[in-house]
Amino acid sequence: MERKTTLYIANLLQSCIDKKNHLSGKLLHAHIYRIGLSADTFLLNRVIELYFKCNNTGYAHNLFDKMPQKNIYSWNAVLTQYCKAGNLENAQKLFAEMPERNTVSWNNLISALVRGRLEREALYVCNKMIWEGFVPTHFTLASVLSACGTLLDVECGRRCHNLAVKIGLEKNVYVINALLCVYAKCGLVRDAFQLFEDMQEPNEVTFTTMMGAFAQTDRVVEALEMFSLMYRQGIQIDSVSLSCVLGVCTRGACGESGFYDGSLCSALGKLVHGLIIKLGFQSDLHLCNSLLDMHAKNGDMDSADEVFANLPEVSVVSWNIMIAGYGQKCNSEKAVEYLQKMRSCGFEPDEVTYINMLAACVKSGDMEIGRQMFDCMACPSISSWNAILSGYIQVGNHKEAIKLFREMQFRYVKPDRTTLAIILSSCAGMELLEAGKQVHAASQKAAFHNDLYVASGLIAMYSKCGKMDMAKFVFEKMPELDIVCWNSIIAGFSLNALDKEALTLFQQMRQNGMSPTQFSYATILSCCARLSSLFQGRLVHAQMAKEGFMDDVYVGSALIDMYCKCGEVDEARQFFDMMPDKNTVTWNEMIHGYAQTGRGCEAVNLYRSMIRSGEKPDGITFVAVLTACSHSGLVDTAVEIFDSIQRDHGLEPILDHYTCIIDALARGGQFREAEMLMDKMPYKDDPIVWEVLLSSCRLHSNVRLAKKAAEELIRLDPQNSSPYVLLANIYTSLGRWDDVRAVRGLMSDKEVVKGPGYSWIEHKREIDSIMVEDNLKLV
């Protein structure tokens, strides 16, 4: 009779547990005491389970503590509650106190440790479980494999795989899916695919995992084919698999993973959109947000707008995706519009909203709105600080960036390596040595002084401020160096006209086993060009050819510049003709090379070939071709090209263009036209134009205009020796000795001194410079 009563009450308790009927359960608990079953462990275990299910943990623990006889199920009930609540400290303490344990006990603790991100401890507990003679179940292995995937511990994953085979779980779908995740996260797609092919009945989790594995390892096409196979085999497609394939389409459409057919991925994304509607998932908010994200990252904001407008419900995530999408399109106005709509609909922006708005404004160059967004953040994250700082640098407002960095320090926000690199860029941009030194000190305080990223910024800052001794000090103090640091120091020496030292460092870099990059070669070729060192330039050319940089357009442009400046224009043209890709810089270098060597007709012909090829000329192109015309006496061609700058190409002529055309006119003896142009141009007070005119007056002995040009130059810069020397030379060539003495007297009165000139010569692979003293001896 007592046995029947116990079973009857147990069934009633189970009903209360299923329905979470707390009140009825308490009445049953009281009835158990009243009929003398207060020592019945079986019933009391059910009551404990009921209290935990109804969130009355106090009653449950109190009952557990007072139970006269506890069994394994009693202990497991409390352990399960601790594990579900994430109370790992009490769970581990209770586990240690248990008089006996079963597989459920071990599984509970292991899975709780994995959920609590204590993966290493979970692996330790699993090893202890096996050592104590318990055989892991599929639940055990699924939890342990999850820990292996998080830790990217493939060796542990393989041991679990072997264990699964040993205990007969190698075909269990839960274990196989967990193994797939480990191999996928560790980038072992071949192992994952082999496992997938051996599976007898893969499910939707299996296919979704394989899609993620392929996408993660830059194999977008295979990921899409896996979804297609899943669909053809009639595997149930759920919201998770649809969200995964949308992520794959997003990855491909963004041009990631080396998959650049964005239109194909966009089309596939729209097919998936249709499938979502067909399968009735259009009300799944998470899935709809994935769809929004796919359209937004593909830049198809019209489709994103349409999806957003038809969403049955929206979340803050939905608004954030739209704001980020318009930010990606550099449309800060539309992003602001969505932010305003978001607020008017009762949604409170979160940190991600402000970061997305800030990114939108930074990308659009709208720093006024960007600063407003930043100021709205109660406690900006370090990424937000970095975004606003980089935004100010992007628009060239280095002063505000430095000011904001100081505010960041006053707020006790610890900078990271990105912050320091950004602010060092501002210090370099403004050549603020003292501010740069303060950032250097801050980097040491934050323990980033040995960080390669920060070190490169420090080297660049000291180089820009002309302090190569400090730049070299930072470089030499680094415990290890990467190619960026080497490039920074070489570029620093090059920037400060220390080209021989840059060449020496380049050689040291190669001796240390560091492979040069495009930037390395472009920089060192510029050094060879400035030194007119054809021997060194050819050595670098040979190294480039050996290492496969010949098709790089930037390195190729630097190589053309080097050959031209070393006087080997034909060799430069030969290389130019072989280049598979050319940009405006490449054409400019070749045109300028012809200009430098007085081959004006070839420069003009090349310029016209550039126009025919569809390459758009820029301001430098016109400087090069006009210089060529000037040096070769092609005055009419120069005038024609000058007139086309604004008329045909929509560019406003700048000072350099006016200088070139005036030089061409004056060299051709067309002083009247040159004077008329000077009267109309907006650069009348620039000394360069007058110097050019004065030089041409010497060629044609135009004393009247020479005197006027010299007077203008002396007015603009009385201490510049050039106009005195040039005017005196004109008088000398005409035998006007009284005027020569007058110029010399004027120089003496104003204490103007002509500086020495320099020449350099290359011999025995070394480059020496020679100072040429010139005391302006005028008879």
- Alpha-carbon span 186 to 695, nearest angstrom: 70
Looking at the predicted structure, is the pLDDT value of residue 450 above 90? no
Residue type for position 15: S
Looking at the predicted structure, is the pLDDT value of residue 206 above 90? no
Per-residue pLDDT reduced to its tens digit, 348-392:
888 788 888 888 887 777 788 888 878 877 788 888 888 888 888
Measured in whole angstroms, the distance separating CA 228 from the mean position of its chain's CA atoms is 33
Question: 739 burial class (0-12, 13-18, 19+ CB within 10 angstroms)?
Answer: middle
Q: Domain boundary at 684, 717, 751, which?
A: 684
Residue 127 resides in a domain: yes
> What pLDDT, on the 0 to 100 scale, is given for residue 506?
92
Q: Are residues 100 and 184 in the same domain?
A: yes
Q: Are residues 99 and 168 in the same domain?
A: yes
Per-residue pLDDT reduced to its tens digit, 679-733:
788 877 777 777 777 777 766 666 677 667 666 666 665 655 666 666 666 666 6
- Is the distance from CB of 349 to CB of 313 less than 8 angstroms? no
Per-residue pLDDT reduced to its tens digit, 80-112:
888 888 888 888 888 898 888 899 899 989 999
- Alpha-carbon span 655 to 619, nearest angstrom: 10
Q: Are residues 722 and 773 in the same domain?
A: yes
Residue 579 resides in a domain: no
Domain that holds residue 169: 71-197
Per the document, the length of the chain is 779
Number of Cβ atoms within 10 Å of the Cβ of 1:
5
Read off the tokens for 375: 């100021």
Residue 453 resides in a domain: no
Helix or strand (DSSP H, E) at 761: strand 757-763
Q: Are residues 642 and 752 in the same domain?
A: no
Per-residue pLDDT reduced to its tens digit, 154-197:
899 899 899 989 888 888 888 888 888 888 888 888 888 888 88
Partnered with residue 444 across adjacent β-strands are none
Helix (H/G/I), strand (E/B), else coil: 540 = helix
Please give the share of the chain, as a percent, with pLDDT higher than 70.
Answer: 87
- Alpha-carbon span 273 to 292, nearest angstrom: 10
Half-sphere exposure of 572 (CA within 13 A, CB side): 30
> What pLDDT, on the 0 to 100 scale, is given for residue 257?
42
Residue entry with tokens 């970061």: 355
Looking at the predicted structure, is the pLDDT value of residue 621 above 90? yes
> What pLDDT, on the 0 to 100 scale, is given for residue 777?
39
H helices then E strands: how many in the chain?
A: 44, 2
- Alpha-carbon span 686 to 559, nearest angstrom: 33
Residue 512 resides in a domain: no
Q: Are residues 133 and 173 in the same domain?
A: yes
Q: Are residues 94 and 186 in the same domain?
A: yes
Q: Count structural domains, the chain.
A: 3
> What pLDDT, on the 0 to 100 scale, is given for residue 256?
43
- Is the distance from CB of 89 to CB of 122 less than 8 angstroms? no
Read off the tokens for 534: 């054809």
Q: What is the CATH classification number for the domain harbouring 636?
A: 1.25.40.10
Range list of β-strands (E), 530-674 = none
Q: How confident is the model at residue 586 (pLDDT cuts 50, 70, 90)?
A: very high
Q: Which residues, other chains included, contact 714 with Cβ-Cβ below 8 Å and sequence gap of 6+? A: 720, 723, 724
- Alpha-carbon span 724 to 746, nearest angstrom: 8
Residue 109 resides in a domain: yes
Helix or strand (DSSP H, E) at 278: helix 262-278
Helix (H/G/I), strand (E/B), else coil: 766 = strand
Q: Are residues 723 and 646 in the same domain?
A: no
Residue 32 resides in a domain: no
- Is the distance from CB of 47 to CB of 63 less than 8 angstroms? yes
Max avg pLDDT among 207-211, 352-356, 467-471, 705-709:
467-471
Q: Domain boundary at 175, 197, 219, which?
A: 197
Q: Domain boundary at 149, 175, 197, which?
A: 197
Q: Are residues 757 and 715 in the same domain?
A: yes
Q: Are residues 609 and 661 in the same domain?
A: yes
Pairing, β 757-763 against β 766-772? antiparallel
Q: Are residues 634 and 660 in the same domain?
A: yes
pTM comes to 0.60
Q: What is the largest CA-CA distance in the chain?
A: 142
Residue type for position 79: L
Least confident span in 166-170, 219-223, 644-648: 219-223
Question: 199 burial class (0-12, 13-18, 19+ CB within 10 angstroms)?
Answer: middle
- Alpha-carbon span 738 to 143, nearest angstrom: 102
Residue 656 resides in a domain: yes
- Closest Cα partner for 305 from 338, 340, 330, 332? 338
Residue 526 resides in a domain: no
Looking at the predicted structure, is the pLDDT value of residue 43 above 80? no
Q: Are residues 711 and 676 in the same domain?
A: no
Looking at the predicted structure, is the pLDDT value of residue 745 above 80? no
Q: Are residues 98 and 185 in the same domain?
A: yes
Per-residue pLDDT reduced to its tens digit, 493-510:
999 989 999 999 999 998
